[in-house]
Amino acid sequence: MILSLVIIIASTLLILQFFLVQEPTYDYQIEQAFPNLTFDEPVGIYDPKDGTNRLFVLEQDGLIQVFENNENTTSKVVFLDISGSVGSGGGEQGLLGLAFHPNFTENGYFYVDYTDTAGDTVISQFTINSTDINRANTTSEKLILSVSQPYSNHNGGQLAFGPEGYLYISLGDGGGAGDPNGNGQNRSSLLGSILRIDVDSGDPYAIPDDNPFKNNINGYKEEIYAYGLRNPWRFSFDPNSNLLIAADVGQLSWEEIDIIESGKNYGWNIMEGAHCYDAPLCNTTGLELPIYEYSHTFGYSITGGFVYRGSKLTSLVGSYIYGDYGNGKIWTLELQGDNVISNTLLRDTELKISSFGIDYNNEIYLCDYVSGKLYKISENILS
Ligand SMILES: [Ca+2]
Ligand SMILES: [Ca+2]
Ligand SMILES: [Ca+2]
């Protein structure tokens, strides 16, 4: 009697375990998120986190469009037009970044990153129109920072507020090829870095007390948070772990993903990815290696994305979703803390993925630079 009961319980547990360990397999589709909307060379998608559930799209020539985050939306409105201030050289120049102040609901401040008509980087603050939340006050521009650019490419361009409320800014090495001016390793130049500034103190900003090079005696720029970067076009914070993850576009051979930490040197142009650049041997002492890299066999211009914290893609929660502008591939990097568990091809697309963005619910979107359409990912359980 007891024996048969034990057998029944044991076999029930075995059957239960069988079902529990059967991980479903998923199929992912990329579909248009807002079929009725088309943008002109979109390079960014942003949510103001003000509860209005609107999305803002950057158009490279200098416009910000705003629309209701609803797949049936048929109209968009020009929120800001600074095309007259933005250099329209195309390529890697233009209106490149947007960040809403953490207290945007109260103060109406937002920040843009663009290259001006001289090709130099400008980061400036604007204020929302006091009577229409879908319009910016076009005369409210306040210069925060300008950075001279030696070449038209590698301008970085990402802006984002960190969990502590400071503004982070990415700047590429200035351009050319191979970092001819050595800006990546030169901490006396803002180029080749991710900066961190406090726009709520000082005028136009203050250096946070715990910035790694604050009050240094070596002439290093105190705005620098991390350096040795080539062209960190897109970076983001994981709202759960607060990790700052940057995708650094490579030169000839390697695209890389870095976890950015205060004061660290990410290697360029001594290294490209986890490899010596332009020399068989190099001194890698003190250089921070990427958490993941891929060779130009698999893609050739990484577009950084986000650690997914939405609810629709249940299999991807906690994974870093990113892509490659060059070949349209989208991958997911499964993370455990700051360790990489696996990298999986989610979908091979025909899109020119210029940027990813997340909405109020942390759902992820991407923009196709060529068609001007925005896309989303859908998840289907195969078995
Ligand atoms: Ca440049
Ligand atoms: Ca530098
Ligand atoms: Ca690196």
Let me know if residue 2 belongs to a domain.
no
CB 324 within 8 A of CB 301: yes
pLDDT in the model for residue 11:
64
CA atoms within 13 A on the CB side of 266: 35
Please list the pLDDT of the chain residue by residue as tens digits (383 residues). Answer: 566 666 666 666 555 555 566 678 899 999 999 999 999 999 999 999 999 999 999 999 999 999 999 999 999 999 999 999 999 777 999 999 999 999 999 999 999 999 999 999 999 999 999 999 999 999 999 999 999 999 999 999 999 999 999 999 999 999 999 999 999 999 999 999 999 999 999 999 999 999 999 999 999 999 999 999 999 999 999 999 999 999 999 999 999 999 999 999 999 999 999 999 999 999 999 999 999 999 999 999 999 999 999 999 999 999 999 999 999 999 999 999 989 999 999 999 999 999 999 999 999 999 999 999 999 999 999 87
Cα 171 to ligand 1 centroid, rounded to whole Å: 9
- Taking the centre of ligand 1 as the mean of its atom positions, its distance from the CA of residue 232, in whole angstroms, is 12
Distance 307 CA to ligand 2 centre (A): 27
Using the mean position of ligand 2's atoms as its centre, give its distance from the Cα of residue 200 in Å. Answer: 25
Expressed in angstroms and rounded, the spacing between residue 247 Cα and the centre of ligand 2 is 17
Q: How far is the CA of 181 from the centre of ligand 2 (A)?
A: 10
Tell how far the Cα of 184 is from the centroid of ligand 2, in angstroms: 5
Instruction: Quote the DSSP letter at residue 316.
Output: G
User: Closest ligand to 192 CA?
Assistant: 2
Tell me the CA–centroid distance for residue 73 and ligand 2, in Å.
Answer: 43
Can you read off the two tokens belonging to residue 176?
């050319």
Cα first-last separation, the chain: 39
* Ligand lying closest to the C-alpha of residue 260: 3
- Spell out which residues have Cβ within 5 A of ligand 2, the ion: 183, 186, 189, 191-192
Q: Tell me, yes or no, whether 199 lies in a domain.
A: yes
Helical segments of the chain, H only: 2-21, 104-107
Q: Which domain holds residue 55?
A: 25-381
Segment holding 196, helix H or strand E: strand 193-197
CA–CA distance, 84 with 308 (Å, rounded to integer): 36
User: How far, in Å, from the CA of 89 to the mean position of ligand 1?
Assistant: 12
- Cβ contacts of 293 within 8 Å, gap of 6 or more: 254, 255, 256, 257, 273, 274
Span from the CA of 64 to the centroid of ligand 2 (angstroms): 29
Question: Is the distance from CB of 173 to CB of 268 less than 8 angstroms?
Answer: yes
Q: Which one of the ligands is nearest to 226 CA?
A: 2
Compute the distance from residue 306 Cα to the ligand 1 centre, in Å: 25
pLDDT value of residue 327 = 97
> CATH number for the domain including 190?
2.120.10.30
Instruction: Starting from the CA of residue 291, give the closest ligand.
Output: 3
Tell whether 154 is covered by a domain.
Answer: yes
Which pLDDT belongs to residue 24?
Answer: 83
Q: Tell me the pTM.
A: 0.94
Residue 367 lies in a domain: yes
Instruction: Name, in order, each residue with C-beta under 8 angstroms of 5's C-beta and a sequence gap of 6 or more.
Output: none
Distance between Cα 8 and ligand 2 center (Å): 68
- Sequence-distant contacts of 47-54: CB under 8 A, at least 24 apart: 47/100, 47/357, 47/358, 47/359, 47/360, 48/100, 48/104, 48/105, 48/110, 49/100, 49/102, 49/104, 49/360, 50/100, 50/104, 50/105, 51/105, 51/360, 52/133, 53/359, 53/360, 54/134
* Residue 178 backbone phi and psi in degrees, to 5: 80, 10
Closest ligand to Cα 156: 1
Domain assignment of residue 66, yes or no: yes
- Torsion angles phi and psi, residue 105, rounded to 5: -60, -35
User: Taking a C-beta distance cutoff of 8 angstroms, is the pair 28, 347 a contact?
Assistant: yes
Of 362, 324, 367, nearest to 238 (Cα)? 362
How many domains is the chain built from?
1
Q: Which of these, 133, 115, 113, lies nearest to 123 by C-alpha position?
A: 113
Predicted pLDDT at 8: 66
Q: Is residue 10 part of a domain?
A: no
Note the pLDDT of residue 89: 74
Evaluate whether residue 308 is within a structural domain.
yes
Q: Which amino acid is at 330?
A: I
Question: Which structure tokens are listed for 340?
Answer: 């990489």
Q: How far is the CA of 229 from the centre of ligand 2 (A)?
A: 8
Diameter of the chain by CA atoms?
89
Identify each DSSP E strand in 82-166 by its residue range: 95-100, 109-115, 121-128, 136-147, 159-161
Residue 156 covered by a domain: yes
Write down the pLDDT at residue 15.
58
Tell me whether residue 5 is exposed, middle or buried, using C-beta atoms within 10 angstroms of its C-beta: 0 to 12, 13 to 18, 19 or more.
Answer: exposed
Whole-number Å distance between alpha carbons of 138 and 80: 7
